[in-house]
Amino acid sequence: MGYAAGRRYPRASTHLPCAGSKPIRLTPAVGFLPVSGFVVLFLVYGPDEYGRSEALAALKARVPAEVADLNITTLDGRRTTLSDIVAACEAMPFLADRRLVIVDDLLKHQKAGKDRDDVRAYLEHVPDACDLVFVESDEFDKRSSLFTFLKKHAEVRECVPREGADLLRWLSDRAKGLGVTLERDAAQRLTLLAGNDSRLLVTELTKLATFVGRRGRITVREVDLLVADRQEQNLFSFIDELSARRRSAALTALRRLLDDGQAAQYILFMMARQVRILMGVRDLAAQRLRPDDIANRLGQKPFVVRKALEQAHGFSDADLQRLHRRLLELDHASKTGRAAIEAGLELIVADMCS
């Protein structure tokens, strides 16, 4: 194609936001190797989906909204070829200074070999008027020459969920951006209920901010009122006590479940569902899958999976199979009039805690 080797890339912004991940400035001190001049290559990767989406939104915002549809191209890495990337990048911007080309999960799906090497070679020749962005989930080969090149020559944003005090500070800052104050205890309660899933946290925080109004204050009371799922929390409490074989506390937690206004048949269904989640979590954890990957496999919220991982330690595989079988037997007996669910559940607790 006659591209000149060793070209320098025009450098863009120095900071892309990743909600839920640590803000990173493009300085050598944090592992970045900035390129002289401009940068037209970007790599956004990591397990925090919301963080990736915010970083991508910041790049999209650089394209005028009225011509965005004509100047933003998104390619699916599962099917994308080098020809597709070249065609998208070489197209001239339409009524704008730049084009934006986004390639989703190419590193994840493209096997090592000539195709990947050809993409790597082309990256030295991306036109100055095009920003080429690789967006990757956390499951891809970080040993590849393509990833190594991007880490060295692209603006890189790694999106990792925040934890601990960092997460609480981020929540406080987000609350201020919504015009409200989030008390520290309320922030801790919110993370206890929603975990560190940044998208879920933003959704819940926005709901809380709307409830208290501008310049309002979010306390634990508002979090419990709007965020806490009492049925789910009571179910978690019951399983916690059952896994610890605390008979009296388990019976008390069971009574809270039954007194919460839901039909006994529904409670039985939710218990059986939670036991199946525990069984699935134990099985996938034994395969050394990460909590977020387990959540994706089971179709559950990360918070639910993290809680299940804690609870699963109190049960053996045989315990869970026996508990699940007892719940199914009680379901059948209750539907044929041979047993009352409330009494049957109490017997199961007594048996499991003996």
Q: Per-residue pLDDT tens for 116-147?
A: 889 999 999 999 999 999 999 878 888 888 99
CATH code of the domain containing 199: 1.10.8.60
39 has a pLDDT exceeding 80: no
154 and 70 housed in the same domain:
yes
In a domain, 203, yes or no: yes
pLDDT, residue 218, reads: 97
- 318-348 confidence digits (pLDDT tens): 999 999 999 999 999 988 887 888 899 999 9
58 has a pLDDT exceeding 50: yes
In a domain, 118, yes or no: yes
Query: Which tokens hold the place of 99?
Result: 């084009």
Q: If you average pLDDT over residues 271-280, what whole number do you get?
A: 91
The range of the structural domain enclosing residue 261 comes to 230-352
pLDDT band at 261 (very low <50, low <70, confident <90, very high): low
In a domain, 8, yes or no: no
273 and 328 housed in the same domain:
yes
From 123, 158, 193, the end of a domain falls on: 158
288 and 300 housed in the same domain:
yes
From 158, 181, 204, the end of a domain falls on: 158
2 has a pLDDT exceeding 60: no
In a domain, 1, yes or no: no
Could you give the percent of the chain with pLDDT greater than 90? 51
113 and 140 housed in the same domain:
yes
Is 238 or 283 the better-scoring residue by pLDDT? 283
User: Is the model's pTM score more than 0.95?
Assistant: no
In a domain, 9, yes or no: no
Number of domains within the chain: 3
pLDDT, residue 262, reads: 66
- 106-119 confidence digits (pLDDT tens): 988 887 778 888 99
CATH code of the domain containing 249: 1.20.272.10
220 and 252 housed in the same domain:
no
33 and 148 housed in the same domain:
yes
In a domain, 151, yes or no: yes
148 and 198 housed in the same domain:
no
pLDDT, residue 233, reads: 73
235 and 306 housed in the same domain:
yes
